Structures are given as C-alpha cells and as structure tokens.
Amino acid sequence: MWEYFSLGWMAVEVVGSIGIGLLSGSLALLAFGSDSLIEIMSGLAVTLHLRSDSTGSNGLGERTERLTKFLLVSLVPIIGGGALYSYFAGFKPESSPLGIAVALGAVIIMPVLWIQKRKIGRETNCAPLSMDAVQSATCFLMSIALLGGLLVNYIFGIGWADYVAAGVILAFVAKESVEAFNPTKIAGSTPTKTPYPPRPPSLNQTA
C-alpha cells in the first residue's frame, strides 16, 4: 500500500515541480522534480521486487538493489549539471506560490513514507525497500531546503536563495549516494550473507 501511495505522490511532485520549475525558472524545483522522477523509477523497481520475489529469488533482489543504488547516484550529475547550466545561462528564478505548495506537501508527506518504508523493510529484511526508505528520507530533507529557498525568494525577493537551496539538495544527494554503497549506514538494512530471503506472506498486506 505504501509503495503505491509513494508512487502516486512522486508523480505529483514530478509534474508539479518540473512544470512549475520550467515556468518560474527555478533550478531548485527542477532539481527536486528530477529527484522525484528517479524516485518513481526506483519505487517501480522496488514494487516489482516485492510483487515478484515471492519464491525468494535472490537474483531478482540483487538486481533490484543495484538498480536502486544506480538511480540514487545518478541524481548527482542531474542536479549538478542543472546547476551549471542554469548559472551559465543566467537564469533568474521567479517566486512561485505553487512551488511552495508542492514543497510544503512533500515536507508533510515524505516523513510518513520514510518511517513506514523503513519499518516494513526492517520487519521483512527487504534491502530494496530499506534503500527506498533512504530515498524518501533524502526527499524529505531536500523538500525542507526547497521550501526554505522558495519562501525566501517569495517573501524577500532574493533570487539567489533558489541556487542555495539547489546546492543544499545536491549536498544531500551526494552524501546519500556515497552511503548507499555502505549497507551499515542505510537505515533499516541489516547486512546478511543472503540479503533477500523469501518474502513473508504478510508482506502482501503491508506492501
């Protein structure tokens, strides 16, 4: 259930953040929307694992984990490249009440998704779901930076606050990308010799 709800909200973030970001010239919104787009791809991979790995297919689980790691790491060049392009193109972001609404929604929703995914990941020893929980936590931190930058620009008319928010988002993503390859630092994951045991029947009801 939580994965489907997460995918639905990520779709709202993608359409809202990228669409509003293009209209307002907000790099922070575009970066946030790019993160949400990759989180959708990651969420689809995790959902596939949860629904297809009922017989304990370690191969599928390992491929899913590699994919989620790759998607998380790929956020760094996307956001960094967007920052460089925006800087050299001389973009001046405009204030955006709609962007503020999207960021506020993420600040409220993402902690709930993070906690629930981490809980289920621990209970089922599902590494891909624990990795997805890390991405939800990262999205929550980025949404705080996004909301702060958009509010400063909207209230005080300081356009460069958008670039600061984008920089903070990039820093969080880079940090989580490094930690993604260290299982001991991933919330909710428990390194084991066989990290993808058969999915328990109860997961059909929780996922």
pLDDT in tens, 153-174: 999 998 888 888 988 888 887 7
Could you report how far apart the first and last alpha carbons of the chain are, in Å? 5
What are the residue ranges spanned by the domains of the chain?
2-206
| Predicted local confidence at residue 48, as pLDDT | 73
> What count of Cα atoms within 13 Å lies in the side-chain half-sphere of residue 187?
15
Per-residue pLDDT tens for 14-70? Answer: 999 999 988 988 888 988 887 788 788 777 777 777 776 544 445 655 676 677 677
- Identify the CATH assignment for 2-206 out of 3.90.1420, 2.60.40, 1.20.1510, 1.20.272: 1.20.1510
| % of the chain residues with pLDDT over 90 | 23
pTM of the model: 0.75
Residue environment code for 154-166, b if the CB has 16+ CB neighbours within 10 A, otherwise e: beeeebebbbbbb
Using the predicted structure, report yes or no on whether residue 109 has a pLDDT greater than 90. yes
Most confident option among 38-47, 81-90, 117-126, 189-198: 117-126
Using the predicted structure, report yes or no on whether residue 129 has a pLDDT greater than 60. yes
Helix 97-124 to helix 2-24 angle (10° resolution) is 150
Question: Within 10 Å of residue 80's Cβ, how many Cβ atoms?
Answer: 16
| Predicted local confidence at residue 86, as pLDDT | 74
Per-residue pLDDT tens for 87-100? Answer: 777 777 888 999 99
